[in-house]
Structure 1
Amino acid sequence: MNKPRLLSLAVIAGMSLLGYASLSCAQEKLETKKEIKVISYNAYWGMKSDKSEGKQKFIEWAKKQDADIIAWQEMNHFTRDSLEKFAAAYGHKYAVLLKESIDPKDDEFFPTAITSKYPIVNVRKQVDNLWHGALFADVGKYHFVVTHMNPFWTSKRIDEMELILDSIKYGNDPQGKWIIAGDLNSFSPLDKSGYNESVMVKDLTKKEQERPILHNLVNGKMDYTVQQNILDRGYIDVLKHKYPDTFMATAPTKIFYDQAKTPLRYDYIYVSPVMEKDVVDVKVLKDDFTDQYSDHYPVEMIIKNN
């Protein structure tokens, strides 16, 4: 074998080793990171409040947050390609969309999505028997479920959450590190002290009279079954875990205040019992941007990466 040939092989081998080293470093970043920041955000009807091409206002906001993983809801009109470009603009190399409408003009199509600085693997897209669907995906050792529950019927929401919880229970790693995030369109029993039920029942009754499709009251009362069922399975409502005596609403925001007479909490992050001690901080992100660009506020969680 001549010397140029040997030199070429050496260069190729060196490049391969460098590539392998680079890949190893990329894989090690998540493993060696001490803390991970997760945000869940219902972005309102495909971010329709952001009129800029490519949703630059949302990109600027996401850059400032510098989250490791973002769970999005209401990603109307996004495609696989546009989501990947959108996520890349704020530093997330990986992005997965739950579903994509065949009609680009369909304004009633509400997919969820997940974007991440790190590889998103073991993706499963559950749309059967769910109003909007649920996106199951892993980032490292963390199992995510990103969902947006039925906005019209409490009974349907109960069935949807049972499906999600049983999917975990009978899955491959039921005792693992699970994170359920999204707009669950339901009330938590842990928030009872923060609600004036008589006022809320009156408001919800009026809405049901105006829109017959709505069946959110049960026997004329507020219902807490969806959230209670999650708690009964041992999952930790991270916001209440961190601030058990404080009510923090996630809707409506300042420019959507006409949507509800009473502040509500519809947006949740739950973690499985094994992660209870990993929760470092949780907050509802309220700033000049989130006041205006969606009808929901995002929820942020920081966890120890044990």
Structure 2
Amino acid sequence: MIQRKNPLLSALLFVLITLGGFAQNEKETLKVMSYNIWNGFEWGKDTERKANCIEWIKSKKPDVVALQELCGYDEQMLKEDALKWGHQYVQLLKTEGYPTGLTSNRPVELVERKLDSFWHGMLHCKTYGIDFYVVHLSPADAKFRLREAKMIVQDIQKNQSDNYVILGDFNANSPFDAYALEKNNGLREKYRPKSDAKHSNLLNGNFDYSVIGQFLACPAVDLALNKVDMVTQGYTYPTPGLVGKYNNTDKSIVANRVRIDYIFASPNLANTCKAFNIFNQQETHGLSDHYPVMAEFGL
């Protein structure tokens, strides 16, 4: 006897299977990481550090990764690395100098690459429905950094998006960290330029908080606040990897600790931030001269 299929039952089964598939694919969190990888692992020559760094990134299972100092990289090279931590989609700012890049496990839309009037450039991409601005501001000039910050903020405000993230190596100090910085006369003297210098990381002889102030007023929220113990863990640079380089010692590394790597988010998106980490523990001491940071959002 031939049994006829019930079309209503078949349709119901199809809906249930489809919904079940969607449920399995839904993510409860979005992990966003930023990492300055230090001269592209010496332009690819330091294969051991590169392998260790890739393995470490993979272990944290980020969904989106912003990278700075992708020296010597092209887009294919970045994709080969990103595939190792599970990301199929990449965008690279440029192939010369000190590029930034973005990788994701979801499609990435390139919105804009900006190079003119920037020290290293600015990469604007969109993934997960969020506008990501990957930055690497001037490492040598406070006034130049301020101009870069104003241009980026202007772009963000012009875009009129409710969901944006600004992340990377800002090379700038936050007013929220002033309580420690203002006591650090040694670091102030280290920043003080020679009389014939063209650039200065100080502003009129003082630590400069105006750059980060621009992003806070954008408006954007510093996601580390109230999620990291700033007294004991609030630093992203330098790491012990710099000991023996540029006259650095164990003592000077500790004395010159600062927070210059950030993840900022629009107020709307910041309200969904569940956790923030500055990974400045033993396991990342030798991976770069910067420590990575990661924000976790609820979806």
Q: Give the structure-1-normalised TM-score.
A: 0.81
Q: Deviations over 1:224-244 (max 9, x none)?
A: 100111112221000124247
The CA distance in 2 between the partners of 1:211 and 1:152, in whole Å, is 14
SS at structure 1 position matched to 2:297:
strand
SS at structure 2 position matched to 1:180:
strand
Q: Which contiguous aligned blocks of 4+ residues in structure 1 show a shift greater than 4 angstroms?
A: none
Structure 1 residue aligned with 2:122: 134
Give the partner amino acid of 2:240. K
Structure 1 residue aligned with 2:189: 202
Aligned-residue offset at 1:126: 1.0
Structure 2 residue aligned with 1:106: none
Structure 2 residue aligned with 1:9: none
The CA distance in 1 between the partners of 2:128 and 2:31, in whole Å, is 14
Which of 83, 87, 97 is matched with 2:82 structurally?
Answer: 87
**Residues 249 and 210 of structure 1: is their aligned pair in 2 closer, same or farther, counting only changes over 3 Å?**
farther
Matches within 5 A, 1:265-276: 265-276=259-270
Structure 1 residue aligned with 2:273: 279
**Residues 214 and 289 of structure 1: is their aligned pair in 2 closer, same or farther, counting only changes over 3 Å?**
farther
Which of 196, 216, 221 is matched with 1:231 structurally?
Answer: 216
Aligned-residue offset at 1:294: 0.8
1:100 is the counterpart of 2:95: yes
Give the partner amino acid of 2:276. V
SS at structure 2 position matched to 1:242:
coil
Which of 202, 207, 212 is matched with 1:222 structurally?
Answer: 207
SS at structure 2 position matched to 1:150:
coil
The CA distance in 1 between the partners of 2:66 and 2:195, in whole Å, is 32
Q: Is the 8 A contact 1:182 1:269 kept in 2?
A: yes
The CA distance in 2 between the partners of 1:294 and 1:245, in whole Å, is 21
The CA distance in 2 between the partners of 1:37 and 1:225, in whole Å, is 28
Structure 2 residue aligned with 1:16: none
Q: Deviations over 1:204-263 (max 9, x none)?
A: 12xx22982431112111111001111122210001242476460101112325275421
SS at structure 2 position matched to 1:41:
strand
Aligned-residue offset at 1:197: 4.1
**Residues 289 and 45 of structure 1: is their aligned pair in 2 closer, same or farther, counting only changes over 3 Å?**
farther
Q: Is the 8 A contact 2:41 2:49 kept in 1?
A: no
The CA distance in 1 between the partners of 2:148 and 2:230, in whole Å, is 29
* Number of aligned residues: 271
The CA distance in 2 between the partners of 1:50 and 1:62, in whole Å, is 19
Which of 51, 59, 63 is matched with 2:58 structurally?
Answer: 63
**Residues 279 and 211 of structure 1: is their aligned pair in 2 closer, same or farther, counting only changes over 3 Å?**
farther
Aligned-residue offset at 1:203: 2.1
The CA distance in 2 between the partners of 1:73 and 1:39, in whole Å, is 11
**Residues 212 and 302 of structure 1: is their aligned pair in 2 closer, same or farther, counting only changes over 3 Å?**
same
The CA distance in 1 between the partners of 2:45 and 2:54, in whole Å, is 10
The CA distance in 2 between the partners of 1:96 and 1:235, in whole Å, is 24
Structure 1 residue aligned with 2:106: 118
Q: Is the 8 A contact 2:74 2:95 kept in 1?
A: yes
**Residues 170 and 118 of structure 1: is their aligned pair in 2 closer, same or farther, counting only changes over 3 Å?**
same
Report the identity percentage: 29
- CA-based RMSD: 2.6
Q: Is the 8 A contact 2:73 2:95 kept in 1?
A: yes
Give the partner amino acid of 1:262. N
Which runs of no fewer than 5 residues in structure 2 stay unpaired? 1-16
Q: Give the structure-2-normalised TM-score.
A: 0.83
The CA distance in 2 between the partners of 1:289 and 1:244, in whole Å, is 19
Which runs of no fewer than 5 residues in structure 1 stay unpaired? 1-20, 102-108
Q: Is the 8 A contact 1:134 1:146 kept in 2?
A: yes
Q: Is the 8 A contact 1:50 1:293 kept in 2?
A: no
Q: Is the 8 A contact 2:66 2:168 kept in 1?
A: yes
Matches within 5 A, 1:26-45: 29=25, 32-45=26-39
**Residues 119 and 210 of structure 1: is their aligned pair in 2 closer, same or farther, counting only changes over 3 Å?**
farther
